[in-house]
Amino acid sequence: MKKFQIFFFSTVCFLLAMQSLRAQQINSTKQNNPTQQNPYFNYAGKLIIVGGGNMPDSLFTLFAQYCGGKDQPVVYIPTATSDEKYIQEGGHLVKFTSRGFTNLSTIHTRNKKEADDPKNIELIRKAKGIFFGGGDQALLTAAYGGTKLYDEFIALLKRGGVIMGTSAGATIMGSLLVGGDARNDLTKKYDFEPAFSFVQNVAIDQHVLARNRQFDLIPVIEYYPTNIGVAIDESTAIIVDAQQFKVIGASYALLFDPKDWEQQKKEWGRVIKPFKMMSAGDCFNWTTRKITP
């Protein structure tokens, strides 16, 4: 009898130990596979995604805070603008130097081979933050999409860096190059090129209320229902981390959630409220898909 009890107790202990080991293996696998944890954003760093227009000082203060101070290395990428003279004269840097940033570098090219210059790679590896300026988001993918430098953008987020962008520099952070010719006829399906997908499965639009774009993401989400849509107004931003995104600034961000659309169809037979307006302080949780004040 005693031998049986010892055998039974040993077996139970062995099974419990194996269960614990299996749980550790599953957790380890999830940590090494970001999409299993969070299909939207799963990096140690943060994104500051600005809807264009006048950027308040508070956004630069927050960017500096996430970088570790205004003396930390920041790389400005102004390639979205086609104004070469403005870039060559350093006009893009004024918004930072006028606010006390002292360690600024510029990366700018129209050529993918030049983008991978070892000097550029080294700048991003040393950087604590990156800023993408406004203009045409397609110019950014044309210069940096699929490059080794792009891989360094991702590496910066993995190690806890921060990326901020405004207007085109906001849309580029999402999964689709929203905008362009698609706005000419919203009734037709438009095949959007992929953006940088710093935040995945999220289509981002900007200048939303200032330019009467509050309905432009509706057909995008209809045609790309695996994406959440986020449209951000001017002087407003969302702060993205692995748990949520939070709205800050003077105006609103609009949330287009296909799961919410499905629920509306069940309740009312159709989508009556295609978006929800989020004001400063509102948060959207990636896991629960709910907005909290």
Q: State pLDDT tens for residues 91-118.
A: 999 999 999 999 999 999 999 999 999 9
CA distance 261 to 275: 9
pLDDT at position 88 is: 96
pLDDT (mean) for 191-203: 97
pLDDT number for residue 19: 45
Q: Is the separation of the CB atoms in 124 and 149 below 8 Å? A: yes
> CA-to-CA distance for 153 and 239, rounded, in angstroms?
17
Give 142's contacts (C-beta < 8 A, 6+ positions apart). Answer: 110
Beta bridge partners of 216: none
Put simply, whether the predicted model's pTM sits higher than 0.85 gets the answer yes
Q: Give the pLDDT score at 273.
A: 97
Looking at domain 40-292, which CATH architecture does it have?
Answer: 3-Layer(aba) Sandwich (3.40)
- Return the pLDDT at 187: 87
The pLDDT score that the predictor gives to residue 86 is 97
Largest CA distance in the chain: 90
Residue 271 confidence class, pLDDT cut points 50, 70, 90:
very high
Mean pLDDT score, 121-133: 98
Helix (H) or strand (E) holding 99: none
Q: What is the pLDDT of residues 52-102, one digit of tens each?
A: 999 999 999 999 999 999 999 999 999 999 999 999 999 999 999 999 999
Query: Which positions ≥6 away from 114 have C-beta within 8 Å?
Result: 120
Contact 59, 247 (CB under 8 A): no
